[in-house]
Amino acid sequence: MKVAFTSDNIAGASDAVFKAMLEAAQGDAMPYGNDDGTAQVTRMLSELFECEVDVFLVSTGTAANSLGVSAFTPPWGSVLCHTESHLLNDECTAPEFYTSGARFVGIGGEDAKMDPVQLQKLVNQKIGDVHSCQPSAISLSQVTEVGSVYSLEEIHAITSVAKSVNLPVHMDGARFANALLALGCTPAEMTWKAGIDILSFGATKNGVMAAEAIVVFKQALEDKGISSEKVAKELGYRRKRGGHLHSKMRLLSSQLIAYLTDDLWRTNATHANAMMALLQDGLKTVPGVKINTPAQANMLFCTLPLPMIDHLQAEGFGFYGGRWEEGVIRLVTSFRTPKEGVEAFIASAKAFAAQ
């Protein structure tokens, strides 16, 4: 059985999501987020995170990330993130556009996790220096761009630096559910209880068709002396200006209602993570395969001999390669990755290695 490990974006959407959208499309409802379903999403996310939140639905992760950090970042400001982060490398300057020209500054650290020592050094050097763009927010990716996951202690280390200089912290949660299940903690523990102020709550990679949520943790901001009311008001205007205030918002909210109902989000992410664990364990037994960064969720970078890569692709397996160092490929599992496909990939790699 030949499958693609190209991305979790290739998997389509869960049946329950499509059913919910079809039901929401019946009859009339108030536009621009004034429908009952959009209000229900806010209530459901407040319950999930065990706190009062403001929620802004958008249709892409790029918009969620860019709008989220823009609420705190003036044109002369900067957002501090890892050098491998999506915000810095893979958004085609959308974050700079939404912030009217702010700078995004990369911070080093192993496994695509920001080093809190480097972070502290930079903010100490730059804050208050009229010749420098002013650090205005910090953003971390959970899951990271190489498939690692920040532990709760590592998140606290970053947010402690932020707290010392009163900077808001954004989490890029494109694979939020996968990271959460990897840590075995609650949504609250991985976000506001760990010092996160605003979250891009990803759903599209985990079974939703096209819906993401910007989640603002109101009390977390207030504790830093930042008016959550002002942030929410500004985000409303920024979302409209950015073209993401959908007139038929109920078709976005219906997706997230289905996603949050009966723990669909957990079920989907559990399967994706399990398939990656199976894939990684199998590849560890294949001669010539090197695991670059151990996968903690549903994404793995590894190095294979070039002839093995050619063989696997000729066999019909899909994955990204040729974008990094020689022989490095990326494998991603999704909520629809079949176990038989994972086993077939491992068997094919083993068969080639045995030649």
CATH number, position 349 = 3.90.1150.10
Q: Where a domain ends, among 210, 236, 263?
A: 263
Encode pLDDT of 38-81 as tens digits. 999 999 999 999 999 999 999 999 999 999 999 999 999 999 99
pLDDT at site 241: 96
Q: Are residues 273 and 223 in the same domain?
A: no
Q: Are residues 145 and 253 in the same domain?
A: yes
Structural domain for 34, as ranges: 16-263
pLDDT at site 237: 98
Q: Are residues 318 and 210 in the same domain?
A: no
Question: Could you give the C-alpha distances from 137 to 22, 73, 217, 245, in angstroms and in order?
Answer: 39, 7, 15, 24
The mean pLDDT of 338-345, rounded to a whole number, is: 97
The mean pLDDT of 297-324, rounded to a whole number, is: 96
The mean pLDDT of 92-117, rounded to a whole number, is: 96
pTM for the whole structure: 0.96
Q: Are residues 250 and 137 in the same domain?
A: yes
Encode pLDDT of 167-226 as tens digits. 999 999 999 999 999 999 999 999 999 999 999 999 999 999 999 999 999 999 999 999
Distance separating alpha carbons of residues 218 and 86, to the nearest angstrom:
25
Residue 37: pLDDT above 90?
yes
The mean pLDDT of 101-125, rounded to a whole number, is: 97
**192 three-state secondary structure:** helix
Overall domain count for the chain: 2
Supply 207's token pair.
């079974």
Q: Are residues 211 and 252 in the same domain?
A: yes
Q: Are residues 256 and 270 in the same domain?
A: no
Q: Are residues 99 and 222 in the same domain?
A: yes
pLDDT at site 322: 86
Q: Are residues 189 and 135 in the same domain?
A: yes
Residue with tokens 């942030």: 231
Residue 7 within a domain: no
Encode pLDDT of 81-97 as tens digits. 999 999 999 999 999 99
CB under 8 Å to 198, separation ≥6 — which residues? 68, 69, 71, 72, 168, 169, 170, 171, 214, 215, 216, 217, 221, 231
Cα angle, residue 284 at apex, residues 283 and 286 outer, rounded to 5°: 65
Q: Are residues 239 and 347 in the same domain?
A: no
Q: Where a domain ends, among 263, 292, 326?
A: 263
Amino acid residing at 37: G
Q: What rounded mean pLDDT belongs to the chain? A: 97
Q: How confident is the model at residue 2 (pLDDT cuts 50, 70, 90)?
A: confident
Residue pair 163/154 in contact (Cβ under 8 Å)? The answer is no
Q: Where a domain ends, among 216, 234, 263?
A: 263
Distance separating alpha carbons of residues 64 and 351, to the nearest angstrom:
43
Q: Are residues 233 and 283 in the same domain?
A: no
Residue 319 within a domain: yes
Residue 1: pLDDT above 80?
no
CATH number at residue 41: 3.40.640.10
pLDDT at site 283: 98
Residue 10 within a domain: no
